[in-house]
Structure 1
């Protein structure tokens, strides 16, 4: 019987079958299956044993801390005060950054042991802000939240006009005085938005005169050479219900030499001192009976080379109208000046002849630089102090001009 070999099988030439070769092939295939699929031995993972994570690590757990930001992301017309708050639950805040569109960061504090954050100041009006807040839970795992919002654009606003001017040099009595265009009913918020820094450092306090004027000064006259920087951060401050400030301005001024001039209304003299030394003694005339000159400390607020003085403007209608008063220096809002006088005859040093002003001898037109009035005018600057004593009148009111020095420091700060 003839027999053909089976296709694909090998026959030993010496008559032995392929049993050994077949066993070898099966062994190789088994090894390959074991290497690719795993053998299910101890320490290995499989689809059926519930151990699918990587053998070298563990699955990261999410932080339990929850960060909340108010107002909600995308909110518009947000109030400039009281609306912005950041808080954390099941964790503690570690970082809060609030910035405007220019990248300026808003100061604030984390309080309550990390439970909340609030800004230290108001926000500007009509401004977009971004918030980035980070908190950590008890296992030091981090959670973060980002948000943005836009503050309201007010319909009604106010500004403050101020003295002295930016970049000016002034005398030692000059307060920083702000007059507001609208009456203020939230004075604490407005005053908090005005900061003053001095070099050298000195305590400066503000005082309100009515509801539209705020003056700042130190306890005593400024020291010569003091540099004063005022930050008017009024943009967004609600000065009265529904009325917001719209100023963000920095003002700087420097204090010049110390000049204080003392007028004695009985002796009719004025001693001019600079840095504590008498540099000149001038003869003056003051207010006659019934028109006495105010007593007290008065600060120069305006210098006019020539001006018109009309009695109608101060309630003395028809008594005088002098169109060319030379070398006039304003001391009060109500109309008290220290000025040149060319019509006074021999009154200077001899008798009281004015309607309340302090007069110095001068010439018509003020051309004589050696006249007492011209000398004093040329040696004076805005902010210098004139003190009147021994007059029969009362002390000038602190708000009549820049004359808050007539109020005690305790009352000024009260």
Structure 2
């Protein structure tokens, strides 16, 4: 330190004791120089280094759900607010990086999400606010939504990736009754390529089917879109599925069983391809009339009268080439136990339509085997002149027995 420095800092002229000089030699002169620098600049020293204290924003951001919440309700919106400031930006993203839309209040003092949250999902919130002095405040939080305590599932037919006949509707059954049919139906879409109008019809609180006005055109590609995740189907009961199901319509084949002539006439792609002699239901067990859709196919199956409420009238362990037409037990199937002369001439069955066959279902040349091989799930078999009433449309896949007007009247939309 020069004499000039000592004079400017007030240490010359005996103003410092020996102890003060010793202290100066051990390091105090650094502080003295700092103080002098402050004095020269006219500033105020702050701390050991003389730097000015940083200014802090007075804007205070609040986020709901609170940071770290593990079971936030997914039915409630995200809300961000600020006191003593205005919001500059708010982003809410899920684990996949998708942003949740929201609305900023006109005074920029609050923000509310407008997109529904998903259950059991982690979200990250980043908010920025500024105060009246343009100083910035930040809030970075995260939370996880709760999983619903009660859920419902939709079971659908046909299967994903399948090829089906022109009469196959989209049929959905729910494992718990649906009370908000509109909300559930809005979350389900059926699309066709080529396009055609498709409408839904509720048979009950647990069954919803979709179909076009006429049979599907062959080659149509159909997509079922299920967007039921977090849809409240009944009070406190939420859907879990978000998936697409695709299936294709195969060749066009429909058949007519005329039980006054006891024939089954098959039309494929507009041409009659086969006519078979059949046996229909006896007068005390008439076959349902109307349009029925093949829903299952069995190379061989057991049929027992006790399962359809007919007592002990029959039990056949190996019915060949059986194709289900109704949920109540109507089939078109092979018959090896009736006399050959009965086919085309008599109605003696318990309600099914029977074609000539052999025991063991291993002869590919029988009428039943030929019809079985030419058929697929989704083909329509229409029964006429049976003497019985039209089958209940809900009994199996009998959707085509309702007029288009009656069908659309069963929609919740």
User: When the two structures are superposed, what TM-score results if normalisation uses the length of structure 2?
Assistant: 0.73
CA distance in 2, matches of 1:175, 1:385: 11
Change (3 A) 1:118 1:361: same
Task: Tell me the SS of whatever aligns to 2:342.
Answer: coil
CA distance in 2, matches of 1:392, 1:217: 28
Q: Determine which of 99, 112, 118 is the counterpart of 2:114.
A: 118
Tell me the equivalent position of 1:196: 190
Query: Do the aligned residues in 1 keep the contact of 2:302 with 2:319 (CA within 8 Å)?
Result: yes
CA distance in 2, matches of 1:170, 1:356: 25
Change (3 A) 1:155 1:335: same
Q: Determine which of 371, 383, 387 is the counterpart of 1:392.
A: 387
- The answer to whether residue 222 in structure 2 is matched with residue 223 in structure 1 is no
Task: Tell me the SS of whatever aligns to 1:312.
Answer: helix
CA distance in 1, matches of 2:346, 2:257: 14
- For residues 136-179 of structure 1, the C-alpha deviation after alignment (integer angstroms, 9 at most, x for no partner) is xxxxxxx9998754322122222122211111111111111122
Q: How far apart are 1:324 and its partner, in Å?
A: 0.7
Structure that is richer in helix per residue? 2
Tell me the equivalent position of 2:179: 185
- For residues 308-358 of structure 1, the C-alpha deviation after alignment (integer angstroms, 9 at most, x for no partner) is 100000011111111110000000000000000111212211111111101
CA distance in 2, matches of 1:283, 1:112: 76
Task: Tell me the SS of whatever aligns to 1:290.
Answer: helix
- List gaps (5 residues or longer) in structure 1: 1-46, 48-66, 136-142
Change (3 A) 1:231 1:393: same
Tell me the equivalent position of 1:368: 363
- List gaps (5 residues or longer) in structure 2: 1-42, 44-60, 130-136
Q: Determine which of 264, 270, 275 is the counterpart of 1:276.
A: 270
* Equivalent residue pairs, number: 344
Query: Do the aligned residues in 1 keep the contact of 2:162 with 2:246 (CA within 8 Å)?
Result: yes
Equivalent residues in 2 for 1:231-250 (5 A)? 231-250=225-244
Task: Tell me the SS of whatever aligns to 2:71.
Answer: strand
Tell me the equivalent position of 1:405: 400
Task: Tell me the SS of whatever aligns to 1:377.
Answer: helix
CA distance in 2, matches of 1:330, 1:403: 12
- For residues 172-195 of structure 1, the C-alpha deviation after alignment (integer angstroms, 9 at most, x for no partner) is 111111221112222222222222
- The answer to whether residue 146 in structure 2 is matched with residue 127 in structure 1 is no
Q: Which has the larger radius of gyration?
A: 1
Change (3 A) 1:234 1:330: same
Task: Tell me the SS of whatever aligns to 1:77.
Answer: coil
Alpha carbon RMSD of aligned pairs, Å? Answer: 3.5
Q: How far apart are 1:288 and its partner, in Å?
A: 0.8
User: When the two structures are superposed, what TM-score results if normalisation uses the length of structure 1?
Assistant: 0.73
